[in-house]
Chains A and B, each alone.
Chain A
């Protein structure tokens, strides 16, 4: 199956700092999503971004599908950004449309005041 690697596994930031989270994947994809899981367990959909660049407030994401990676940028971090950030992909090409997202292991972000 498709492999998804996220880096770094853990990240501690001072409030106000910027950060970049990376997601590498091993095969072509037709679906890539970034999620934020808050400390209460809720998974919040940040971006649906199989290719290209999107921005939403202080967050932006870029997926370079041909090079099999995606980046999530967090600017001017706030304590409420703390939690785990997951990248999830679904394989494209033959056999696509499987309804099976593969999650990376996540990046745990802690933003300290």
Chain B
């Protein structure tokens, strides 16, 4: 079983909806990540939080809004998405000491935008 938990596992939303993806880890890690993965492609980094501060935003559109309420939780708020945003969204965590280190992924949230 993965120690990084993501909910929901599947989400279908319209372009006018607001929804959130949630991620939780209890490994004491201090870095948490959101990745986006399209079919038959490798994961692409979206955001990195290090010690609860946003340290990397890979030029992600503002319709994706990350939030790190505490060291164990990471949210991704979704608003006014486009059909091309349909993808697998992966949360990950690592110790976060001077670089990525060993990265652990959750099972992913598969998003479909209609």
A residues lining the B interface (CB < 8 Å): 30-31, 33, 35, 40-45, 48, 86, 88, 90, 96-101, 103-106
- The smallest C-beta distance from A3 to any residue of chain B, in angstroms, reads 13
**Inter-chain contacts of B52 with A (CB < 8 A):** none
Contact of B99 among A30, A42, A44 (CB under 8 A): A30
Nearest A residue to B106 via CB reads A42
Could you tell me if B102 and A41 are in contact, using CB atoms closer than 8 angstroms?
Answer: no
**8 Å CB interface, B80-114 against A:** 88, 90, 92, 96, 98-108, 110
Residue of B nearest to A98 (CB): B99
A-B contact count (CB 8 A): 65
- Taking CB atoms, residues of chain B closer than 8 Å to A44 are 105
A43–B43 touching, CB < 8 Å:
yes
A41 and B31: CB pair below 8 A?
no
Q: Is B61 in the interface zone, CB < 8 Å from A?
A: no
| Contact residues in B for A106 (Cβ distance below 8 Å) | 42
A86 to B105: give the CA distance in the assembly, Å.
13
| Cβ-neighbour of B50 out of A33, A41, A99 (below 8 A) | A99
Contacting residues, chain A, for B59 (C-beta < 8 A): none
Which B positions have Cβ atoms within 8 angstroms of A? 2, 31, 33, 37, 41-43, 45, 48, 50, 55-56, 88, 90, 92, 96, 98-108, 110
**Selected A-B contacts with CB under 8 Å, 5 pairs:** A42-B105, A45-B102, A45-B105, A99-B33, A99-B55
Kindly list chain A residues whose C-beta atoms are within 8 Å of the C-beta of B56.
98-100
- A90 with B100: CB separation less than 8 A: yes
For the complex, give the distance between the alpha carbons of A43 and B108 in Å.
Answer: 9
Contact present for B45 and A31 (CB under 8 Å):
no
- For A98, the chain B residues whose CB sits under 8 A away are 56, 99-100
Known: A42-B106, A43-B92. 9 other contacts (CB 8 A): A40-B107, A41-B107, A42-B2, A42-B107, A43-B108, A98-B99, A99-B56, A99-B99, A100-B45
Contact across chains for B107 and A97 when beta carbons are under 8 A apart: no
